[in-house]
Structure formats: C-alpha cells, structure tokens
Structure 1
Amino acid sequence: MAGKIPRNFIDDLLARTDIVELIDSKVGLKKAGKDYQACCPFHNEKSPSFTVSQDKQFYHCFGCGANGNAISFVMEYDKLEFVDAIEELASLMNLDVPREQGTSSGPERTAEQKRSDYDLMLHAARFYQHQLKHHSNSATVIDYVKGRGLTGETVKKFMIGYAPSEWEGLCQQLGRNKEQKEQLVELKLASEKTPGRQFDFFRDRLMFPIRDKRGRVIAFGGRVMQADQGPKYLNSPETRIFHKGFELYGLYEAKQAHKKLDHVLIVEGYMDVVALSEQGIEYAVAALGTATTAEHMHTLFRTTDKVICCYDGDRAGRDAAWRALENALPYLSDGKALQFVFLPDGEDPDSLVQQEGKEAFEVRLAQADDFTKVLFNKLSLEIDLTTDAGKAKLLSAVLPLVEKIPSEFYQENLLEHLGRLIGRTKEQLNNRLKTPKQQHSIERKFKITPMRRAIGLLVQHPQLASTVPYLPDLAQMNIAGIALLIRLQHDALQKAPLTTAQLLESFREAPEYEALIKLATWQHEINEDRLEDEFKNTFKFIEDQCLNYRLETLLIKDKTQGLNSDERLECHLLTQALKGTNN
C-alpha cells in the first residue's frame, strides 16, 4: 500500500479549492447574504436549508445536519472514500497526490501514470465493445446476448463486449511498444509465460467491464457462452487499481440511474445485475467472485439505508447470507436496514425475473426477511434449545453478535428475541453485554460552556487565535477542553491564514471531531464587531480558571508535602495575579 497523504498537501488542496464553486457546479447555489443557499442534495426538501460559507469554506444543512468541508462534500455527494475524494479534488486542480515514504512497497506512481492505467482499461473495454459488433463471431455472440434477454440499450449501458477467440487480439491492438506490453501484463489484460511473448488473458468470452465509484474501468469479468469452454466466469486478478474485496459490480450504474438509492439489492453474478436492469430493476450489485465483505457492506451502507441480500435457498446460499450478515452488523446504525431474500431451488435472479417480470420479483423483495429472523433461524437449526446446554450455547453465540451492532434499538430487539428463546429477561441479558449500551445511546443536549464557547468561536473564526496570548503551559492543566483549545490556537497561529475547513480537517480521525463539527455549526449570534471582545473575555475567564486550579494545587501541596522555593514564588505570583483580576 502507498504511504499516507501528507497533511500539508491536504491543507493546500483545501486552500486551493473554493467550496462555493465546487458545490455550485453540482447543486446550483444562490446568494443569501454573505453565504450561499440551495435545497440540500442529501435529503428531500422544498425550501432551501443547505448553506455554504465562503469565509469558512464549510457547508451545513439545518434540515438533516449534513456538514463538512470540500473533501466531506465530495465523499458524501459522490459516495467516495476519503483517499478517492482527495484524488478527485486533486485531479480537478491537475495536481499529483504525494505520499509519505515508509509504507510504500515501490515507487509511487504519478498522476499521469495512474491516468495511463485507467486509459488503457477504457481502451480495452472499447476494443471488446467493437469486437462484439465487428468480429467474425459477432453474429453468434449477439444471438447469445439476445437469447439472454438483453437489448442493445442494456449492453451499451454496461459496456458489455466480446473478447475475441484469437490468442493475441487485444495484445496486437494495444501492446504496440515495450511499455504498453508491460502495462497490459501488469493490469492482467495479458499473460506472459515466455519472456517477451504476451497473449490475451480473456479469450472468446462475453466481457463485463467493472467500474469503480468514479466510473473508471478497473477490471473485467468474462463469461463463457458454451458450457464446455472452461470455468463459467473468469475475473481479473487483483492489480494496483483493482481490489475485488472493495468493489461491487453495478454500483456505479445503479448510482447513475438514481439520484438517491433508497435500497440496494446484492446478487451473486454479473448476469443477474444486467438481467435485473433490463427489467427495470436498476439497483442491483454483485460481489466480484468473492463473498460479500465488510468493506462491501461499509460502502453500501454509506450509499443507502437499506440493503437486501438475494441468495439461493440451498446450503451454499444460506452460508453466503450468514457471512454477509456477520460483515454487516457493525454498520447497522439507527435507520439502516438489512434484509434477505432466498430464491426457489434452481432459480437465480436472472432466470426468475425473466419468468415472472419486474412486479412479481419486487413483491418477493417486499417480503424479504429481516436479518434478525435469518440470524435466529440459522442458530436455532444448529442448536438444541430444549436443553439448558443448548440455551447456554445460543446465549454465547448471540451476545458477541449483538455487541457488534451500533444501534441500541436493534440491540434491544435481538435481546428480547433471545430472552424469549432461553427464558431470560432483557435486563438480565443487558448485564451480560461486554460493551455498555451507553456507548450507543442518543447524545445528550450540547450545552455551551465557556470552554465550548471559546473553542466554537476559534473554530469558526481561526483569525481570533492571534488576539489572545499563546500559553502552551495551560494545556497541562487538568481542565476539560483546555488541551484542545491550545492545540487549535497553535494550529491556527502556525498555519495562518486558515479557514474553518482546514482547521477541522486535521481532526477528521480524532475523537474530538464530532464535537468540533457541532461547534463549527453552532449559531453563536454574536455580531461581527463584537467577536474579538467576546473571545478575549471568554479566554480570560478560562485562563483565570486554569490559574485558580494551579494555585489550589500548590496550596494543597503546601499543606501535605511542603513547597520548594520556586513553587513558593509561583504561589505568591499567582495569588497576586488573581487578586488583581478580582479587583
């Protein structure tokens, strides 16, 4: 894996990006006083409650609570992970994303080299598309495609193509020099058993390009059209741009088809996704020759609130469902739903939707089982609940699963169900949880204390850092929030001029991030001409609080252990300073 992206590059990227221009290009903003407004892109509303601040380089929705900087917006709007969002913003500025040394297994590729990889994959996809129409086998291939119930529109939408039967069709077209030939091998479009002699990795197969969240072709799945042609599916091996445990076939197309995905259906194969889309069910995705991973579930629950898993009803299908369920539990926060549909023996989504049509198939989805039913059905089949030993075994199997779930509602629901099966109350079972439920409870009302007031004003107006003395020793005081306040002041002074967006970004992975986000959107209602005085007065109050704490500490030590000469002098100076403040 490549090293981390340097913090100074992220700060510079945010400084170069105008969040108003960025969001306006995707949503359309209107001036409203000193800020900009629009209807929120993250929830449905009729009147605008989504505000973008040019000064803070920060957005906030007063309706749904969505907020953040330019990186956060790209992550949420385009459904990208953090690194992908950085690369997306950097590409808009024609910047290479640097990496810190130390964890990289080889030289870091430049932006131009990365673009070259994606360009090559796109050229390969177009080559396969061309072959579908113009190869000598095209009539046979097109008959096969039509026989599977696919129209030209669906074939075009998914960029479906044909890998020619010749051994070197793609290599001859795209591998015209040494560098291109090496790149074909590195991206697993070609194989090289003898040095200098490459041949196509995919031959005589229907080709399904796999696209990432940004729509770039990163890999392929190839399907045979006759039973005796080898394995039914041949998937691209992992490469520097393709990691199958993180990608889902059809997710990009599903997001293109819907402004908001209310739910996503997980199926097993490429043909299932394509056949469902052909029938108007444009929200299906498939794992890429692997079980549904935790990373897949994380991606899906960032994309939608409801995931429906569709599997065969046989043993293999139920085992796959169990793996998906276990991997999904850590992402089942309040408002998220996980359901399962098991198909009749011998059927798959492709065959079933063609037999019964969209409406009947969606009736099946509407009758999907909740994950709690699947969980207890699976465990009850394996455990004899008529014995105390069986009940104890069920208890030990279910509790670790409950502990993985962040939603208190789901936790209570599972514990109630478990209690009915083993004859225990919910309260008794709660006491057995290793993770206290309080960790998942609804947060208390956010009261604005003097410390939070100072931190909130500094986060929203980093220029205030220079209006009060920088006193790093205060960070050592055992007073809640003081270390954070001093760190924020230090960052604001060191990197001035700094925006709210830049100041917050350095805390993205820190435990204080959520609290800082709340303070960044806090409506302080202080006139601009009074901001500096308000901050100074609040800071002075906190400084006196720290000095009082230090004086009390010294006085207690004087009574119990005695003070040395330096401490006695400090005690005297603190007494005088605080006396002057009180006067």
Structure 2
Amino acid sequence: MKFGEHFLEELKARVRPSDVVGRHVKLKRQGREFAGLSPFTNEKTPSFFVNDEKGFYHCFSSGKHGDAISFLMEVEGLSFPEAVEALATMAGMEMPQADPQAEARAAKNKETISWMERAQEFFEKTLYRTDGAAARDYLTNRGMSKTAAKAFGMGFAPDNFSALKDELIAQGATPAQLVEAGLLVEPEDRSRAPWDRFRDRIMFPIHDTRGRLVAFGGRAMAKDAKAKYLNSPETPIFQKGRLLYNYHRARRAFSDASNTARGLIVAEGYMDVIALARAGFGHTVAPMGTALTEDQLDLLWRVGPEPILCFDGDKAGVRAAFRSIERALPLLRPGQTLRFAMLPEGQDPDDLIRASGPPAIAKVLDAAIPLVDMLWRREVEAEPLNTPEAKAGLKSRLYKALDEIENGDVKALYKTELLARFDANYGWQAQRGNQYKRKSDGETKAGKTTQIASAQKLASNTRVETTLIGAILEFPELLERVDERFFELEFGSADASALQKAVLNWWRQAKAVEKTHLFTHIQSSGMEQAYRALSRQRLLIRAGMGGADATLDTRAALWNAQADTLIGTTQLEAESSDTRARMVDAITGDNSDGLHRAMRASKEARD
C-alpha cells in the first residue's frame, strides 16, 4: 500500500518516538532527550538516544538511526506497511482508504479472523471439559501445565463432525464463512453438508506477523490417524509458506535487552517451540511442516542476522538441514547467514530438556555450526571419496553450490574457503601430507618428538612468516615461481593465514599479475588492516628478498629458503658456518651467481 506524504507527516506528528521506543527500551530523560541501553547491542552504558523534538532516535553503539516507523521495523521485524498501521493504531488514525475492492477484502478478512478467534475460544473450553480428558492427560505427561497451555492458546477439537460448526453457526456464522476460514471441509458432493476439519486433535493457534489469529494446527490423538499433524488449508488470511509459528512472540522475546542471541531459533514443530520457550528460549519459531521458504527466511533475517536451525540428529534431521541449505544459498548476503544445531540422535528438544534441563539445550545451540560447514558436510557425504573420479565429483558439486550464491562478495569468500578445504583434504596438499606421513612412519618415537617440537618452534617464528607473506604482497610476481609452496604453508598467525586465503582466491582468478589488483582484492576481503601492518615492514621484507633491484630468480631462491625454514625441511643450524657465511655474503650483495653456488653447496652438505 502507498501512503501519501501528508498522512505520514500527520502520523509522525501525533506519535512521539519516545512513546514507541519506550515500549521496548527503558528511557530516562536527559535534558531535551531520552537515553537508554541500546536494543540493538548488548551494552552496559547507555548510548541510545531519542529526541522527540527532532523526531528521531540514534544508537551510537550500532550506528542505527531513524524515526518511529524504522524503529518498529528494526525491533519488531515489521514491514513498512505493518509499522505504519501499528503507529496509526497508537495514534487513533484511520488508515488511508484503498480501492473499494481492497477495502472489501480487508473487511471480509477481519470478519474471518473474528470467527477464528471464536473457534479458539471453543477449542480452549473443550480442552477442560469431559471431551478433553485424554488430551489433558497427554499434555500433562509431556510436562505441560495448564498455565503453559493457556499461554499458547492451546485447545482441543472433539471427535465430532459438527461440534465446532454447530457452536459457531449458533453464534451467527454461515457454513460458507467457516469453509472459507478453513474450519469446515466442503465435500465434493454439494448435496452433503460441510463438516468440521479438525476432530480429536490438540489445537495450536497460528498467528500472522501482527499477532492476528489466522490458522490452526492440530495434533492427532489417535495413533492410527492418517496425519499426525494437520494444518489449516490455504485461505485468504493464511499462506503457510509466508508465516512462522510463534513469530509474533519470538521477535518480542528476541528484542529483550537481556537476550544476546544473534537470531531466532527455528525448531521443527509446535511442541518443540513450546518446550524451548518454557526452557527460557522464547525466541523460537517453527515452519508449518514444510522446508523453510524464501519468505520465511526473510522473516528470520528481519529479526537477526544469524538464525539457528535446530534439527533432530537422525538421518531425517540431517536431510532437512541439507534441504534448508538449497533454499538459503541464493539469499545469502554479507552479514546474513544461518547456523545449524543438531540434537543428539533420537531426542527432540522436549526430550532433551526433560532429561537434562535447559543447560543441555544451551550447549547444543552454542555448538551450532556455520552454514559453510554444513554445506561442506553435505557435499562430502554425498558419496564415498575413495577414487579420483569421486573426488572430482566433489569438486564439481562444490562449484555447483557456489553458482547458487548470488551475492558476489559472499560467493568469492565461500569459494576461497571451500576450495582451500578441498585442497587440504583431497588435493595436492593432502597428497604431500600423506607422503610426509609415510616417510615419518619409520622414524623412532624420540625422533618424531624432536621433529614436532622443532616444527612448532619454527612455525611460531613471526619474523619468517612476515617475510614470506610480505614478500608475496610486495612482489606478487613471485607467485609465478612459488605459488604451490606458498599455498601449502601453514602459518601460525591468524592474519597471515587469512591473507594467504585471500591471495589464493585472487590467484585462482587473476589474468595478470598486477599489484594494484591484488591490493583491491585484499581490501574487499576485509584484510586491509593486516596488509598495511605488513607494509610498515616493507624495508625489512625487501632486504630479505635481496633488495629492491634483485632479480626474480634471486627473490624466488631467497623465498624458498625462508619457506624451507618455516616447514622444517632444512636444518640451517647443521650447516657449516663457512657455507652460511657465503650465503649471507651473496644475499647482502645481491650476487645471484654467488647465491646459487652457496645454495648448491648447502644442498651438497645436507646430502
């Protein structure tokens, strides 16, 4: 819906931002402004301010700024029209009239929702009558108190084909209205009367993003029921792929200042949501028995950047996790992803909570893995990887998955990460590692202990790592000679490792060796600060590579010598002082011939 400028200005004039913000943030007046703790970050000192005179809020800790409308969109996850309508209700303003047809649809939907609310009243009353005894026993056995059932509006549909129909028709409804609401089933044989859709089921009310009751889900009491769970059909007020169960409550729980989560929790069913909410995880939702849709993912990301999808640890749960990846990949954006929490096999959230308490669930959620890890698992587990052809198939699947990612920045970083894993586990890095392992198998235990200790000592040599990575960044043309060795090195520094991955990604795609292009790629990878830190040691790095005028052959030889030191394949300490002195003289004077003679002498001495 489009809103005129006059309407929006009038709306903002009638609603003070502090009144809207004050429903979510405890504000204290400071002069002409109000101050409070940020609803967007976890802080102890107030950095969030609201100014009614100027009509805006500003959060210094997160940098977010806006008016009352944008605040509701940020905190409650509302769309723009939803936020405008919520403020209009607060201000007592009538929404702009749409076209007559839209107005008629809105009025009809409002009437349908009123019958849904009356149906819930009937289901709730029935749960505590004689007909609901078995349902009450079931809920009690599941640890569900009467208070908890009422908090979620749970009820019971009796095992009767006309109980609800008779109740609502007596209140003034028509069968056609109840059919349109999805409460009655209209038979194909129109000569027969419609009957109740939900029978002998525990009822769960389903709300839209604004908290309006629009549908029901029903769990069968009979063990031989054709469908364990039955949802309302698609209606003018309910499209199950666009809503999430408990969303209206979950986003309020998430916006609580004490909640430090980075996104909502997504469980698999209604009872899972209720169990998690009762255990202290009120920011939990669930789809309606289907895989997550694009609209549902959008709802999740409106609230927080990193929702956690919680699945059973059995094969079905893993398959469901893999299906979620398919839907999520095209939608990934910078700062917008998913994590996956897998429950112990054979247990759902309710089982785990009842057996081990809320800390057990917290442990599972804390161990949630990033989407990139679950994607890697999906492709690796697709088939046994015991032949070259199978490994090639894995690489092909990785590229196919990468093609699904639409955002260029995210795709580039996923490509770097996934191909680095492939190289480390199944490529030339893994082959070299296996050769080294076979060579080491014949060594004595004492010898291996000495060698590992020596390698650890060398790997921690920051100066050597700085020279190696700095030389590549200063003289990227070195990659034409040393690229394979460079990408097999294991750096102890996190910054060096990250720069190594960024260079790898650039080198795979580079058409020509251009230092400026490499720097641009480093910037886009978020590694500019680490790059500049190395640049401050440019003079030492250049000296270590033979000086500014050294030839490419000289630099490559010097670089390889440093790499040998890092990975422990040479033992410079064992060389004669005379040989080492000649190498130093050659390096200092940039004497390429002398350097080569010294290197040959060193090799002969080792042999």
TM-score (norm 2): 0.63
Q: Distance in 2 between matches of 1:300 and 1:437?
A: 31
Structure 1 residues 381 and 430: alpha-carbon distance in aligned structure 2, compared to 1, 3 A threshold: farther
Whole-Å separation in 2 of the counterparts to 1:179 and 1:440: 61
Aligned runs of 1:152-163 on 2, under 5 Å? 152-163=146-157
Aligned twin of 1:235: 231
**What secondary structure is seen at the aligned counterpart in 2 of 1:220?**
strand
SS at match of 2:376: helix
Instruction: Sort the Cα spacing of 1:204 and 1:95 in 2 relative to 1 into closer, same or farther, 3 A.
Output: farther
- Which residue of 114, 122, 134 corresponds with 2:117? 122
> Is 2:148 aligned against 1:150?
no
Distance 1:330 1:96 in 2: 39
Deviation at 1:374, TM superposition (A): 1.4
Match of 2:159 in 1: 165
Which sits farther off after the overlay, 415-424 or 180-189?
415-424
Map 1:203-282 → 2, pairs under 5 A:
203-257=199-253, 259=256, 260=259, 262=261, 263-282=263-282
Quick one: distance in 1 between partners of 2:415 and 2:9?
40
Moved over 6 A (4+): 436-444
31 and 282 in structure 1: CA distance in 2 versus 1, 3 angstrom threshold: closer
Hey, what does 2:575 align to over in structure 1?
none
**Pair 1:115–1:233, CA change in 2 (3 A):** same
Distance 2:339 2:24 in 1: 33
SS in 2 for 1:382: coil
Contact 1:50 1:61 (C-alpha < 8 Å) held by counterparts? yes
Whole-angstrom distance in 2 between the partners of 1:291 and 1:250: 17
Question: Number of matched residues?
Answer: 435
Task: Tell me the equivalent position of 1:400.
Answer: 403
- Whether the aligned pair in 1 keeps the contact of 2:341 and 2:368 (CA below 8 Å) is yes
After TM superposition, the structure 1 = structure 2 runs for residues 441-456 of structure 1, keeping only pairs within 5 Å, are none
What's the offset of the Cα at 1:242?
1.8
Q: What residue is the counterpart of 1:320 in the other structure? A: 320
How far the C-alpha of 1:131 sits from its partner, in A, is: 0.7
Q: Rate the CA distance shift 1:366–1:27 in 2: closer, same or farther, 3 A.
A: closer
Indicate if the aligned counterparts of 1:219 and 1:236 stay in contact, CA closer than 8 A.
Answer: yes
By how many angstroms is 1:133 displaced? Answer: 0.4
Please report how far the alpha carbon of residue 99 of structure 1 lies from its aligned counterpart in structure 2 after TM superposition: 6.7
**Which of residues 126, 131, 150 in structure 2 aligns to 1:131?**
126
**Counterparts of 2:260 and 2:236, CA distance in 1:** 29
> Over residues 426-454 of structure 1, what are the superposed CA-to-partner deviations in whole Å (9 max), with x where a residue is unaligned?
2244559xxx979977799xxxxxxxxxx
Distance in 2 of aligned mates of 1:132 and 1:413: 53
Question: How much has 1:261 moved relative to structure 2?
Answer: 5.9
Provide the rounded CA distance (Å) in 2 between the counterparts of 1:442 and 1:100: 47
5+ unaligned residues in a row in structure 2: which ranges?
A: 429-486, 488-503, 512-519, 529-607
Residue equivalent to 1:459: none
1:271 alignment partner, SS class: helix
Correspondence list, 1:138-537, <5 A: 138-176=132-170, 180-193=174-187, 194=190, 197-257=193-253, 259=256, 260=259, 262=261, 263-329=263-329, 332-333=332-333, 338-382=338-382, 384=385, 386-387=388-389, 389-390=392-393, 392-404=395-407, 407=410, 412-414=416-418, 416-418=420-422, 420=424, 421-422=426-427, 425-429=504-508
Distance 1:147 1:391, change over 3 A: closer
Cα deviation per residue 1:290-329 (whole Å; 9 max; x = unaligned)? 1112222222232234322222445543332122223334
Which of 19, 22, 27 is the aligned partner of 2:20?
22
- Counterpart in the other structure of 2:501: none
SS state at 1:175 partner = helix
Do residues 62 (structure 1) and 60 (structure 2) align?
Answer: yes
Q: Tell me: higher relative CO, structure 1 or 2? Use CA pairs within 8 A at least 6 residues apart.
A: 1
Q: How much has 1:55 moved relative to structure 2?
A: 4.2
What's 2:460 paired with? none
Number of the residue aligned with 2:82: 84
Q: 1:201 to 1:430 in 2, by over 3 A?
A: farther
- Separation in structure 2 between the aligned mates of residue 431 and residue 319 of structure 1, nearest angstrom: 37
Question: Over alpha carbons, which structure has the higher Rg?
Answer: 2
3-state SS of paired residue (2:136): helix
Assess, with a 3 A threshold, how the Cα gap between structure 1 residues 169 and 429 changes in structure 2: closer, same or farther. Answer: farther
SS in 2 for 1:297: helix
Specify the alignment match of 1:579 in structure 2: none
